[in-house]
Chain A
Amino acid sequence: MAEILTSQVVSGLATGCVYALIALGFVLIFKATDVVNFAQGEFVMASGFMSYTLLIGFGVPYGLVLLATVVLSGFMGVVLERVVVRPIMDAPIFSIVIATIGASIVLRSSAGIVFGYDVLPLPTIFSKDPVRLGFLQFTAMDVGVIGSSLVIMVGLYLFFKLTKTGMAMRATAQSQTAARLMGVSVKRIFSLTWAISAAIGGVAGVLIAPIVYLDPNLGFIGVKAFAGAILGGFGSIPGAIVGGMLLGVIENLSGYFFNAGIKQVSTYILLILVLVVRPAGFFGAAPVRRV
């Protein structure tokens, strides 16, 4: 029994890490620009297809594919920002959100037209064979996913803490006016934020696509990640990460103890309960509202 539980927890953590990465993408953009990017899930999907094309279509070695995918995704993020968000930067937030929804539809249907709606398996370097360590049971894939995600998260943390650009991004998130006064090109920071978010989404795509199979509707996973981000507190990065991981584990455990239906809503029940008690999520700070 213990080993089944631990295997559930571990695989839940693995999916949770992917949710966390996607949630991170959401939160980064949100903190910097107040926009909720509904196309985030589609970044994940697009990167999955990009790596598929490179890997299977052109036979590029795995390491290079990973690098190329991340770069291409970042590029895609910048393009989206310039074309869809920048022109209506001053419009009400809702309109920008709708623009990202429209963009997500465009991305999804383009993928469908180019690749068809068939489901494709994406190969991965991590094996999915079971591994036993005492009472722990998991797969190399689980470890690989968790490991890669942690690497990315630590890397980002260091980036924000230690580099000048990272600091500029944090400054912009706190106050655009102050950042401008300090000589930060806010427009550049926006583009960079979108690029990084999309790139993270790219990594998430490469990690998750082998697990759930690739198809143009993969982007719907973004909804779940979004919930995880809210659970943890949308305004905070550690919140998004913890929320995502928590989400993965809770889903798995409730699926085990209850049935498929409860599994799906357990997260949302939890979410509502948390929000009632703490309206800004676990770690979120109540937003300061100026009158």
Chain B
Amino acid sequence: MNWIIAALTLLVLLGSSPVWAEDGVTDKEVVIGAGLDLTGAVANWGVNIKAGMEAMFNRVNAAGGVHGRTIRLISYDHVYQPPKAVTNAKRLVERDKVFVMMGHLGTPTTKAVKDYLEEKKVPNIFPATLASMWTNSGKWHVGDLATYTDQTGLIVDYLVKERKIRKIASFYQDDEYGLDGHLGGKARLKHTHDLSYVAEVDYKRADIDFSSQAAKLKESGAEAVILQAVYREPPRLAEQCHAIGYNPLFIGPSPIVLAKTIELGGKHVEGMIGVEVYPLPTEPGAFLDQYRADMAKYFPNLPIDTTNLYGYQKAALFVEAMQRAGRNLTRDSVLKAIESIKDWDPGWGLKYGYGGDNRRGMSNAGRLVVVKDGKWVKVSDWTELKEIGRK
């Protein structure tokens, strides 16, 4: 029987794929790929990012597409595992012949496919990871929002200047994702404020118990703990800290700002502060109205949340680039189109800007939000984030 499976598979794999002019572009259609985590440790982000992107694309397609081309999204699940991400990327590029890779989720996973995409000259646009590397890796990578390094810089400045807190600890995921913000914060503390972390406590991806980390943090006497984590860890850490009578200020960059964090943490996350790099999904405005309408229409079962707004704004950015590239759509032309975007506001009061070496999009906007009465509400106004490095 296995020979049958093998033979069938070979036939399926060998099956001819249609001929494209430029990969992923035909007269009527553009195919884009996304490697996402749909069932693993950050599935909440993956599922919602996909929905957000599809909501925007459905709207655009319903209106006839961009310059006569509809947009089709193909995504595969990498379960937040780098080797699967590599296989999926190959499938997207070589089988499905996608035009670009958009919104690839996860720092370690995107890192694994980085070289491959460069080698195949497939643009990696607006990956769903705000690690600083995507903004300075050359022509084929373009970011869209402020990086973790920049956001942590904002956090550090806020803690030291506004809250007058000098005993700061860092709780971070022990991989490329956690390190980005962790090291950025460390650099900021040192260069601008001449301080260092009083405790640096790490955890492994997908870890669920932080009682030892909580104990170490308490011992260090830190008044604030910066969280380079996603949505499972902050509630749990907060809970376990409170369980040993330790109540620091918890603060972290954008991945922790979603409804799920509050749902899991309940009263333990009251007062937790996060950094936002785009508006809250509940705010007023033309673009957000459109987003809410599209989500209600195409994904009525998904609550509106920062996670799907994240995907939606990526899609909006891409559509704008496609508009500017015109009918002659190639990978080069779409990259040039993105670079031509300057001071562009999709309708929410903040602007994207690229051009030249700047591949950072809306990198200069960050805002603090806090959990109050079970919701994320804004603390400060939009602040300009200065670009800082990790050294």
What's the Cα separation between A216 and B236 when bound, in Å?
A: 18
Q: Which of B188-243 contact A (CB under 8 A)?
A: 201-204, 207-209, 211-213, 215-216, 218-219, 231-232, 236, 239-240, 242-243
CB distance from B97 to the nearest CB of A (A): 29
Write the nearest CB–CB distance from B167 to chain A, whole angstroms: 18
Cα of A4 to Cα of B174 in the assembled complex, Å: 24
Task: Report whether A256 and B216 are in contact in the complex, using a CB–CB cutoff of 8 Å.
Answer: yes
CA distance A151 to B40 in the complex (A): 35
Residue pair A252, B38 in contact (C-beta under 8 Å): no
Q: With both chains docked as a complex, state the minimum distance between the C-beta of B312 and any C-beta of chain A, in angstroms.
A: 19
Inter-chain contacts of A263 with B (CB < 8 A): 212
B38 pairs with A117, CB closer than 8 A: yes
**Contact status A259-B244, CB under 8 Å:** no
User: For residue B216, which residue of chain A has the nearest CB?
Assistant: A256
Number of A-B contacts (CB under 8 A): 86
Q: Is A53 an interface residue (CB 8 A)?
A: no
Contact between B39 and A11, CB atoms less than 8 A apart: no
Known: A117-B39, A128-B243, A260-B174. Is A8-B215 also a contact (CB below 8 A)? yes
How many angstroms from the CA of A128 to the CA of B238 in the assembled complex? 11
Residues A260 and B243 in contact, CB atoms below 8 Å apart: no
Beta-carbon contact of B39 and A112 below 8 Å: yes
Bound complex: CA of A117 vs CA of B47, how far in Å?
9
B contact residues, range:
35 or more
Binary contact readout A36-57 vs B (1 if CB under 8 angstroms, 0 otherwise): 0000000000000000000000
- Asked whether A260 and B244 contact (CB < 8 A) given A117-B38, A213-B232, A213-B264, the answer is no
Q: How far is the CB of B257 from chain A (nearest CB, A)?
A: 16
Set of chain A residues within 8 Å of B44, measured between Cβ atoms:
117-119
Are A119 and B264 closer than 8 Å at their CB atoms? yes
Is the beta-carbon distance between A213 and B243 smaller than 8 angstroms? no
Q: Is A118 touching B232 in the complex (CB atoms < 8 A)?
A: no
Interface string of B239-263 (1 = CB under 8 A from A): 1101111000000000000001001
A139 at the A/B interface (Cβ < 8 Å)?
Answer: yes
Q: Chain B interface secondary structure, helix, strand, loop or mixed?
A: helix
- Contact assessment for A121 and B244 in the assembled complex, using a CB-CB cutoff below 8 Å: no
Contact flags A237-267 to B (C-beta < 8 A → 1, else 0): 0000000000000011111100111011000
B244 touches A116 (CB 8 A): no
- Asked whether B179 is an interface residue with its Cβ less than 8 Å from the other chain, the reply is no
* B334 CB to nearest chain A CB (Å): 32
Q: A4-B215, A7-B215, A15-B209 are in contact. Are A259 and B239 (CB under 8 A)?
A: no
In this assembly, does A148 line the interface, its C-beta being within 8 Å of a C-beta of chain B? no
Size category, A interface: 20 to 34
Q: Out of B40, B174, B211, which one reaches A255, CB within 8 Å?
A: B211
Which of B41, B47, B244 makes the CB contact (< 8 A) with A137? B244
Q: How far is the CA of A256 from the CA of B47 in the complex (A)?
A: 35
User: Which chain A residues border B242 with CB–CB below 8 Å?
Assistant: 128-130
Indicate whether A118 sits within 8 Å of B215 (C-beta atoms), given known contacts A4-B244, A137-B245, A213-B208: no
CB distance from A245 to the nearest CB of B (A): 15
Task: Map CB proximity to A onto B32-47 as digits: 1 under 8 Å, 0 otherwise.
Answer: 0000001111011001
- Give the distance to chain B from A35, nearest Cβ to Cβ, in Å: 25
In the complex the two chains form, is B204's CB within 8 Å of A264's CB? yes
Kindly list chain A residues whose C-beta atoms are within 8 Å of the C-beta of B232.
119, 213
Q: Tell me if A260 and B39 are in contact (CB < 8 A).
A: no
Q: Taking the nearest CB of chain A, how far is it from the CB of B269, in angstroms?
A: 11
The answer to whether A261 touches B174, judged by C-beta atoms less than 8 angstroms apart, is yes
Contact check, B212 vs A256: say whether CB atoms are below 8 A apart.
Answer: yes
Is residue B266 contacting chain A, with contact meaning CB distance below 8 A? Answer: yes
Q: Which of B202, B211, B218 contacts A11 (CB 8 A)?
A: B211
B212 touching A130, Cβ below 8 Å:
no
Is A98 interfacial (CB-CB < 8 Å)? no
- Residue in chain B with minimal CB distance to A212: B208
Cβ distance B245 to chain A, nearest Cβ, rounded Å: 5
The answer for the CA separation of A291 and B266 in the assembled complex, in Å, is 60
Q: Which residue of A lies closest to B231 (CB)?
A: A119
A130 to B218 alpha-carbon distance, docked (Å): 14
* B209 near A117: Cβ-Cβ < 8 Å: no
Which chain A residue shows the least CB distance to B174? A260
B241's nearest neighbour on chain A, judged by CB, is A130
For the complex formed, measure the closest distance between the CB of A155 and the CB atoms of chain B, giving whole angstroms: 27
Q: Which of A112, A130, A132, A138 has the most chain B CB atoms closer than 10 A to its own CB? A: A130
Determine the chain A residues whose CB is within 8 A of the CB of B201 once the complex forms. Answer: 260
**Nearest chain-B residue to A118 (Cβ)?**
B44
Provide the residues of chain B in CB contact with A11, threshold 8 Å: 211, 240, 243
Q: Find chain B residues with CB under 8 A from A264 CB.
A: 204
Interface flags, B94-137, vs A, CB<8A=1, else 0: 00000000000000000000000000000000000000000000
Interface set of A (CB-CB < 8 Å, partner B): 4, 7-8, 11-12, 15, 112, 116-119, 121, 128-130, 132, 137-139, 212-213, 216-217, 251-256, 259-261, 263-264
> Given contacts A117-B40, A129-B242, could you give 4 more A-B pairs where the C-beta distance is less than 8 Å?
A117-B43, A117-B47, A118-B43, A119-B231
Closest CB pairs A-B (n = 5)? A255-B212, A117-B43, A256-B212, A212-B208, A117-B39
